[in-house]
Amino acid sequence: MSSGKRITLQQAAEIVKNGSSLTFSGFTIWRRPFALVYELIRQRRKGLHLIEVNGGPQTEFLVGAGCVDIWESCWVGHELYGKYGANLSRKVGNKEILVEDYSHAEMMFRFSAAASGAPYAVTQTSLGTDIHNPAYDTLGNAGLRDGRRIPKHKYRFTEDPFFGAGAQVMVPAAKVDIAILCVQQVGEEGTVRVNGQFYSDPEVARAADVTIVMAEEIVPEEYLRRESDLNTITSFEVDHILEVPFGAHPTGMFGRYDVDGAFLKDFYARTRTQEGFDDFAKEWIYGLDHLGYLEKLGWPKMLNLKANTALKYSTGVKRGQ
Amino acid sequence: MDKEFAKPEEYGLADLLCCAASREVQDNEIVFAGTGLPMVAIMLAQKTHAPNLKLIFEAGTLDGRPPEIPTSVGDARCEMGASRSSGLHDAFSIAQRGYVDLGFLGGAEVDQYGNVNTTCIGDYLNPELRLTGSGGNPDINSFARRTVFIMVHEKRRFTEQVSYITSPGWRVRKWPGGETVHRRELYGAAYRGGPSAVISTLGVFRFDDESGRIYLDTCHAGNSPEQVRDMCQFDLDITRVSGETLPPTREELHFIHEVLDPGQIFIPKVKPV
């Protein structure tokens, strides 16, 4: 049975409007929905509000391209291949972007609250840090806390009323318009099977109003339903699906291909300035479609990144260089 | 394998840091580690004196036994031999629930009470440089019984007051007022401990149980306590120095370079003269 959820890369990008809030699958440099990120940049999307459990190369590409007005998260960089987010740092310095800082666990618990329909989560993490300094409430200082999509407060303090466990922090649910996931397999009706660590994918998919799943392959739904205990996200939580092989490049896909560290290193080195970013985008994004991009990468590179099916990572990649 | 200490020309500073950090781990502990040198250090402990330690990586692998060093905590290599591959919600819930004995982290700046900054340099609202941000640093440090930081030692990084408290030390801010209080007072029932050591490129530092102030425990070879004190912006306590940091053993060097990090991803190999 076909669900009619299948769309193209261009259609997927059109679902994201100027000003939409967005979140992604994956963790730092793994399973980021790059083919769609590139398409958003080609379509010159503006004013995006990224709400991420953690950032990564996808943040840096969208921020560098000027698509993002607000970034709400806890971390951005390229791990071993670029020690911090140079594009975000440049735009923070120039006051071209608003950054709202939470801790990693706070962001996770915020998405978990949104995913369970709760207005907030309660936690004790990060007590005593400047994350809770009221002077550093960026969205509040900018007058953006309308109580609709952007919560009225960055956080609130409370005391445990049940067990007397002391100071607690209430953090608002991370309500987000669209989640874009990049996974190994999706069924025709939307059932998702993530192989390996699923990071925060189940929570972000459920937290978003619209969930788009970009998969290495679309597989028969009944194949996934034969062993439902191996599945990660239910069919009805997914609104749109698309098949995009190598869609996460330059980030990695467990069991399929490794992180393209050389590509990320090159991006980090070349995009410390805006001119450098524009030059990089001209070379790798504008004027290409996904197949053109893969052709430009070339077979030798892609085969080198291909994961060993037993080990789940590539044995050809020289990680230290 | 030869457990003799290596000669000075046989190892580099990164080897020394890695071994000093590894020795902070006790067997059977549950350890939560960040990317980079902390990862090599705990995997070294797993190969040497702490074979039963349980590794947790925040991306979601629980009790993994990676055969070679992962590139970072989200890597496919983290999952090899794991008890469970899961996600961030599990990893952080486990930490908040109180399972974690030891956290291994890095930082850009540290102050005399072990507050660590990884967010920005300069005024937060007009930063000179925006860094990576918190990541899981505050979360792991909030809940682990002990936290060990591994840091590059520069005078500007060992500061009287960090630009931004990303990760809580022994004396922290009580918001909304911002008054400074002991960590124990703020964390209440969730209090389990705090920063227990900073291993810098000059020495190993520990914290006084009561005051929470940092002091110098050992100097790495070639540095005097006075020289280390001169490399801090605060008045470093050097009255409790116990000696020199023990050098790596040949066995440890073997595991670092032949087993864990043969590709020199995190630790460069010292070339024989």
pLDDT for res B36: 86
Amino acid B257 reads H
pLDDT for res B2: 67
pLDDT for res A320: 66
Contacts of A312 (CB under 8 A, 6+ apart): A195, A196, A254, A255, B76, B79
B240 confidence band (pLDDT: 50, 70, 90): very high
Output phi, psi for B268, to 5 deg: -70, 145
Q: How far apart are CA B132 and CA A103, in angstroms?
A: 12
CB atoms within 10 A of CB A11: 13
What's the token pair of residue B23?
């020795």
* Cis ω for the linkage preceding A245 (within 30 of 0): no
Instruction: For residue B58, indicate whether it is catalytic.
Output: yes
Of B76, B86, B142, the CB nearest to A125: B142
Q: For residue A60, what is the nearest residue in chain B, using CA coordinates?
A: B132
pLDDT for res A94: 97
B3 confidence band (pLDDT: 50, 70, 90): confident
Q: Considering only CB atoms, which chain A residues are within 8 Å of B74? A: 26-30, 79, 197, 199
Condensed to tens digits (0 to 9), the pLDDT of residues B124-155 reads 999 999 999 999 999 999 999 999 999 999 99
Residuewise pLDDT in 10s, chain A (321 residues): 556 999 999 999 999 999 999 999 999 999 999 999 999 999 999 999 999 999 999 999 999 999 999 999 999 999 999 999 999 999 999 999 999 999 999 999 999 999 999 999 999 999 999 999 999 999 999 999 999 999 999 999 999 999 999 999 999 999 999 999 999 999 999 999 999 999 999 999 999 999 999 999 999 999 999 999 999 999 999 999 999 999 999 999 999 999 999 999 999 999 999 999 999 999 999 999 999 999 999 999 999 999 999 999 999 888 765
Q: How far apart are CA A59 and CA A89, in angstroms?
A: 12
Of residues B24, B29, B58, B252, which has the active-site annotation?
B58
Would you call A197 and B175 a contact, using CB atoms and an 8 Å cutoff? no
Output phi, psi for A122, to 5 deg: -120, 135
Percent of chain B with pLDDT over 90: 88
Q: How far apart are CA A30 and CA B263, in angstroms?
A: 21
Distance from CA of A273 to the nearest CA of B (A): 14
Of A92, A130, A313, the CB nearest to B127: A92
Contacts of B140 (CB under 8 A, 6+ apart): B32, B34, B58, B95, B100, B103, B105, B147
> Which of B87, B92, B63 is closest to A202 using CA atoms?
B87
Q: How far apart are CA B65 and CA B51, in angstroms?
A: 10
Would you call B181 and A76 a contact, using CB atoms and an 8 Å cutoff? no
> Which of A28, A98, A78 is closest to A270 using CA atoms?
A78
Q: How far apart are CA A99 and CA A96, in angstroms?
A: 10
Q: Considering only CB atoms, which chain A residues are within 8 Å of B76? A: 196, 252, 254-255, 258, 307, 311-313
Would you call B130 and A88 a contact, using CB atoms and an 8 Å cutoff? yes
Q: Considering only CB atoms, which chain A residues are within 8 Å of B32? A: none
pLDDT for res A62: 98
Condensed to tens digits (0 to 9), the pLDDT of residues B169-215 reads 999 999 999 999 999 999 999 999 999 999 999 999 999 989 999 99
Q: What is the mean pLDDT of residues B72-87?
A: 92
> Which of A72, A61, A65 is closest to A22 using CA atoms?
A72
Q: Considering only CB atoms, which chain A residues are within 8 Å of B142? A: 124-127
Residue B68 has pLDDT above 90, yes or no: no
Residue bearing the bigger pLDDT, A169 or B273: A169
Distance from CA of B224 to the nearest CA of A (A): 32
Write b or e for each residue in A67-83: b if 16 or more Cβ atoms lie within 10 A of its Cβ, otherwise e.
bbbbbbbbbbbbbbbbe
